[in-house]
Amino acid sequence: MKPWFQMMADETIRQLESEAVRGLSSAEAAGRLAEHGYNELTEKEQESLWQKFLAQFKNVLVLILVAASGISVLIGEAVDSLVIIAIVILNAVLGVFQESRAERALAALKKMNAAASKVIRDGAIVVIPARELVPGDIALLDAGDYVPADMRILESVNLKIEEASLTGESVPVDKDSREFAGDIPLAERHNMAFMGTIVTYGRGRGIVVATAMQTEIGKIAGMLHSVAQELTPLQKKLAEFGKILAMLCLGVCTVVFGIGIYHGYFNDGILALAEIQDMLMVSISLAVAAIPEGLPAIVAMVLAFGMQRMAKKNAIVKKLHTVETLGSVSVICTDKTGTLTQNQMMVAQIFIFTNMFTVSGYGYKPEGKFLTGEKPVRIDEEEELALLLQASLLCNDAELRQSPADQTWSVVGDPTEGALLVAAAKGGYRKDALSAQYPRIQEFPFDSGRKMMTTFHQADGKILAFSKGAPDILLSRCTRTAASGTIRPLTNSDKEAIRAANQEMASQALRVLAVAYRDFDQAPDLSNPDGTEKDLIMIGLVGMIDPPRSEAKLAVEICRQAGIRTTMITGDHPETAFAIAKYLGIAGDGQGVITGRMLDTMPAEELRQQVRRASVFARVSPEHKLAIVDALQTSGFITAMTGDGVNDAPALKKADIGVAMGITGTDVAKATADMVITDDNFATIVSAVEEGRVIYANIRKFVYFLLSCNTAEVVVIFFAMLLGWPVPLLPTQLLWVNLVTDGFPALALGLEKKEPNVMRLKPRDPAEPLLTGNMRLLIGIQSLVMSITVLFAFQYGLMASNGNLAIAHTFAFITLMATQIICAYAARSERYSVFQLGVFSNRYLNMGVALSFLLMLLSVYGPLQEVFKTVRPELKDWLILGALAPIPFIAAELTKFGSRLFFKTPK
C-alpha cells in the first residue's frame, strides 16, 4: 500500500492534468506550488491526517465490534451478532451513498464552469465548450479571451497576447501570420497562440493544432504537482468541532465501560466474560453511533446541492467557500450596464448641432422612426444624420441577427455597438452592403486608455477614418465640423453647444457617444493612434439608453432590508450613473457622485471615509475598482464585486466574492471570479446571497439536530451507568436508532426551504462560531430533556413490569427513537416555531419522518422484533410513551419562544 504522501502526490498530478484541460496556465500551476504549496499542503495534510485518524479510529471500533459479535456467535448469541454486522454494513452503505452524491454534485458543477470558445462551424460563428475543440478547428480570439488551445495564427488585427505564464515574457507579444523557418524558441513563435495565455489587445483567428495534454501547457502539466482540493472554512470548523466531540465521546464511552465493569464487579464480586463483552459492545456501539466523522462530507453534499439550486437560478458558484461567504456579504459593488439595466441599448436621441432627433422603437428590433419634435424626417434629406448613421455602422464590430426560429432580434457583440447597428438599420442601412462598399482595411480597437475606436476604409481612391468614443475625448481631437452640408472649423461656441447637449442627454440617464470622421489622400501611419486620431471632423452625438431592469429596484430594496449596501461603480458619465442610481433607490437626493479624477487625488484615509457613505462611483477605471474594494475591506465590509473585463480581474480577485458576468464577461473575468452570473442580472446576485444564507442556515439545522440527538444518546448511557442502573439500551438498539434518525430526517433538514424574513437579518459575521450561544442553548436543553425523558421511560418500564429488562429496554428504545424523530421538526428553525413555518411544508422531512416511524414500528411489531429483542407495549403503555415523545420537542419550542421574548433573538 502506498504511503499517504505518495497518494497525495498522485492526486495532485491528476488534479493539475484536469486543470490543464480547463486552461490553467503553467505559471498559475507553478505559482500555486511556489507561493502557497508548501504551507497549504502541510495544513491540509494535517487536517487530512486528523480526518483519517478519526475515520480509521472509528473503523477500528467497528472491527472490534464485529470481532465481539464473532465471539457472541461462539457463545450462542448469533442473532445479536448478525444484527450488529448488518447495521454496520447499512451505515457504511449510507456513508458511501452520501459521499458519492456529493462527488457527483461537485462533478456536475465543474462541468458548468467549463471554458467556452468561439469557432467557425458550417460557415457560422458558434460558441462551444473549449474541451470540444479538435485540431483543424478555426477559432476566434478577442481581447480578454483565454487562448483555448495551441493555435497557428491565420489572421490578426493588432493582436497581442500575454504569455508570461508560459515563457516568462512580461510584455504582451505581437502576433501575426508570418511564417518562420527553422527551430524557433517558444518565446519567439509570433505566429502561434498557446493554450492558457491571455489575449490583451486586438483580435484574430487561428487553426487549432493541439489540445489538452498535447499542448505546450499540457506537456508542462504532466511534470508538475498541484495542491489538493481544500476544505471550506465551514468544513474546517466542523472537522475541528468533530475532533473535540469525538474525543469527548470516546472519553465518556471509556468511562461508561469502566463504570459498568466497576458495578458488575462490586455487585457480585465476579466478572464473567459475557458481562465484560456486553459492556464492551455497549461502549463501542455508543462510540460508533456518536462520533460524527461524516459531518464535513455531509456538509459538502448540502453545499453542492445548494450550488446546483443556485445554478438553476443563473448563479454558478465555482467554489464551496463562496456559498458560506455569501451569507456574510455586507456590500455589493455592482456595475450599471447590463447588471442593473437590461443590456439592450437603444439609441434614443441624436444631436447634430442645432438639431436634436428622437429615435422611436424598442429593443433590438430594427423598426422605428427619426423625429424632430413630433414630425418624422427623411434620412435622404438629412445629410449629416445619414453620415452619422453610416459612420456608426462602419466603425462597429457587432452583428445584428434575427433568429429563424422565433424571429427575435439579437446582437452579437457589444450592446452599445448593437444599438448603433439598430439605429442605422432603422435608417435603411445594412452592415453587409455598406461594408462591401467601404471595405475595412485597418482599425484601432477600443481600449480603456484612449476611450475611442477608429476604423479605416477604402473609398474611391481615398481612405476614410471613422471614429466613435467618449464625447470629451473625441471633442479634444476634432478641429472641424460637418454642418449644413459643409465642413468648417470647429468654434468655441460649437464646442459649448456639444458640451451642453452632452450634459442634457446625460442628465436624462442617456449614454452618450461622439462620432467623427476624417479622410486621407494616402495611407496614414497605422502604427501610431495618437498621431493619426487627430484633426477629426465632428459629426454629432448619439444618446443611448439602457433601461433599468424592472426587478433591479426590488432587489436593491431587499438588500437594504437585509443590511446590505448597494454601491454602483461604473465607467459611465456621472449624471447618467446618478440618474439610474436614484431611480433604483441606490442613491438619494443629498448624495453626490465620486468620480475617477477625484479618486486619483484622494488620500487613502479619505477614501475609507467616502466608501462608508458614497453609493455611486462614476468614470472609474479598473484600477479604481481595486482601490474601492481595498478601502471597503479595510473598513470592515465583506464585499462582493462585479466585473466583466480583463482589467477587472484584480478587483474580482481582491473582493471577498468576485462576480463575473456570464454574457458580457471575458474569459479572464470568469476564470478569476468566485461566481458567474449567467444572465448578467443584479437581482440574480441578490438571489444568490439569499440562497447562500439559506444553505448556511440549513447546515446549522442539520448540525443542531445531529448533535442534540448524539449527545442525548451519550448522556442516557452515561447517567444510567453513573446511577448504577442497568444499561437502558442494547448495542443493536443504539446502532439502529443512530441509523434511522441520523439518516433520512437529518438529511431532509439540509433541503429546508428559506425561513420568513431571511433577507431581513443582518449579514452574518464571518468570525461567528458555528455553534452560537442560542444554538448551544437549544442543543443543551433539547438533549438534556431528551435524556431525562428516555431515562424516565426506562424506569417506568422497570416498575411497570417488576424489573423486566426486555420491557424497559423496549420503552427506552421507542422513546429515544420517537423523541429524536419528532425533534427533527424543532430543528427546522432556530427562531421560528414549526407551526409558523407550516408543519408539512418540508415534504422531504415528512417522508423521512414517516419512513423512520415505519422502521420503528417494524422493530417492535414486525419481523425485526426478535432481532432487537423488543416487547409489544400494551395500549396504556403506548399512551404513556406517546405523551413522553413530544416533551423534548415542546422544550425546544419553548426555548425558542423564550429567546424571542426575553433575549430579543432576531425574528
Other Cβ atoms closer than 10 A to 164? 15
d(CA 618, CA 719): 67
Distance CA 603, CA 504 (A): 32
- The interaxial angle of helices 773-800 and 875-884, nearest 10 deg, is 160
What stretch of H or E contains 202? Answer: strand 198-210
CA distances from 598 to 592, 593, 604, 899 (A): 12, 10, 12, 49
DSSP 32: I
Say if CB 173 and CB 228 are below 8 A apart. Answer: no
Nearest to 586 by CA among 577, 595, 594: 577
DSSP 341: B
What is the CA 48 to chain-centroid distance, rounded? 25
The closest alpha carbon to 659, from 338, 304, 316, 414, belongs to 316
Backbone torsions φ then ψ of 521, nearest 5 degrees: -80, -25
The single-letter code of the amino acid at 729 is: L
- Residue type for position 211: T
The four Cα atoms 698, 699, 705, 707 give a dihedral, to 10 degrees, of -170
CA-CA-CA-CA torsion sign (569, 573, 576, 582)? positive
Q: Is the dihedral of CA 488, 489, 492, 494 positive or negative?
A: positive
Closest CA to 196 of 154, 170, 161, 224: 161
DSSP 253-314: HHHHHHHHHHHHHHHHS---HHHHHHHHHHHHHHHHHH--TTHHHHHHHHHHHHHHHHHHTT
- Yes or no: say if 714 and 251 are a contact pair by the CB < 8 Å rule: no
Angle at 885 between CA 890 and CA 725, to 5 degrees: 115
Q: Among residues 80, 137, 278, 335, which one is catalytic?
A: 335
Q: What is the rounded distance in angstroms from the CA atom of residue 90 to the CA atom of residue 677?
A: 41
Catalytic residue flag (residue 335): yes
Q: Which residues are catalytic?
A: 335
